[in-house]
């Protein structure tokens, strides 16, 4: 998908198509991510961009990509990661196996000071992780009892997914209010490179 600069004009920091973002915004990022000195890594600027694209309450990515997995890939691409060459690194970031990502995302969500948005993001991450588990085949069981136990666990996971979806919808209502219907309308409309998704003003608590 092709984006315009105007798509990202409401982000908390101007990062889209910007170089040297880390150097230009170092004092702000120190506050936003609870100090940068703890995160010494060659891809720090890319990771910061990824977090902002992915988790900024005013980012258009959530409205454009309802699927969390797809949204993460698009955000990583925008941040400057090569989805092929950097596949191992970004997979760890996506799965929160990277040593810095959990701490930095948590700090960023706290910085935005919107509890509903923070909990919404957490619920979506858990839902995505449950979905990954549900897709794994049930194999290599020596006894039928073990297979039945695994099926029972999957059934409970599916019930929990239903509960999480309801929680997500509830937090969406709190955050977007009446704009939610507009978002759904946009998502159901075919999008060309020339068409830019509307970004509603997220409501603060």
User: What is the number of structural domains in the chain?
Assistant: 2
> Quick one: pLDDT at residue 62?
83
Q: Tens digits of per-residue pLDDT, 62-90?
A: 888 888 889 999 999 999 999 999 999 99
Same domain assignment for residues 65 and 148: no
Same domain assignment for residues 162 and 184: yes
Same domain assignment for residues 44 and 106: yes
Q: Tens digits of per-residue pLDDT, 176-188?
A: 655 555 455 445 5
Spatial contact of 141 and 150, defined as CB atoms under 8 Å apart: yes
Q: What is the largest CA-CA distance in the chain?
A: 60
Same domain assignment for residues 120 and 37: no
Radius of gyration (Cα) for the chain, nearest Å?
19
204: in domain: no
First to last CA, the chain: 32
Q: Tens digits of per-residue pLDDT, 108-133?
A: 888 887 788 888 888 888 888 888 88
- The two tokens of residue 61 are 């990515």
Q: Which of 112, 128, 161 is the endpoint of a domain?
A: 112
Q: Tens digits of per-residue pLDDT, 145-176?
A: 777 888 888 889 889 989 998 888 887 777 66
What length is written for the chain? 205
Spatial contact of 116 and 174, defined as CB atoms under 8 Å apart: yes
> Quick one: pLDDT at residue 36?
63
Question: Which residues constitute the domain of residue 8?
Answer: 1-112
Same domain assignment for residues 135 and 105: no
DSSP secondary structure letters along 16-57: TT-SSHHHHTHHHHHHHTT-STT---TTHHHHHHHHHHHH-T
Residue 162 buriedness (CB in 10 A; 0-12 / 13-18 / 19+): exposed
Q: Which of 112, 127, 143 is the endpoint of a domain?
A: 112
203: in domain: no
Predicted TM-score (pTM) of the model is 0.65
């Amino acid at each position: 998908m092709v984006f315009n600069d105007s798509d990202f004009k409401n982000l908390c920091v101007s990062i889209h198509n910007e170089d040297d973002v880390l150097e230009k915004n170092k004092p702000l990022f120190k506050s936003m991510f609870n100090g940068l000195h703890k995160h010494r890594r060659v891809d720090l600027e890319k990771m910061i961009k990824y977090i902002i694209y992915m988790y900024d309450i005013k980012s258009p990515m959530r409205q454009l990509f309802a699927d969390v997995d797809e949204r993460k890939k698009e955000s990583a691409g925008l941040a400057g990661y090569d989805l092929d060459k950097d596949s191992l690194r970004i997979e760890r970031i996506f799965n929160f196996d990277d040593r810095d990502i959990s701490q930095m995302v948590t700090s960023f969500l706290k910085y935005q000071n919107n509890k509903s948005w923070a909990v919404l993001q957490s619920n979506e991450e858990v839902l995505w992780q449950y979905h990954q588990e549900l897709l794994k085949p049930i194999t290599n069981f020596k006894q039928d009892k073990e297979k039945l136990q695994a099926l029972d666990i999957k059934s409970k996971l599916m019930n929990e997914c239903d509960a999480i979806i309801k929680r997500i919808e509830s937090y969406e209502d709190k955050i977007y209010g009446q704009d939610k219907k507009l978002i759904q309308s946009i998502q159901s409309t075919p999008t060309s490179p020339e068409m830019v998704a509307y970004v509603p003003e997220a409501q603060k608590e």
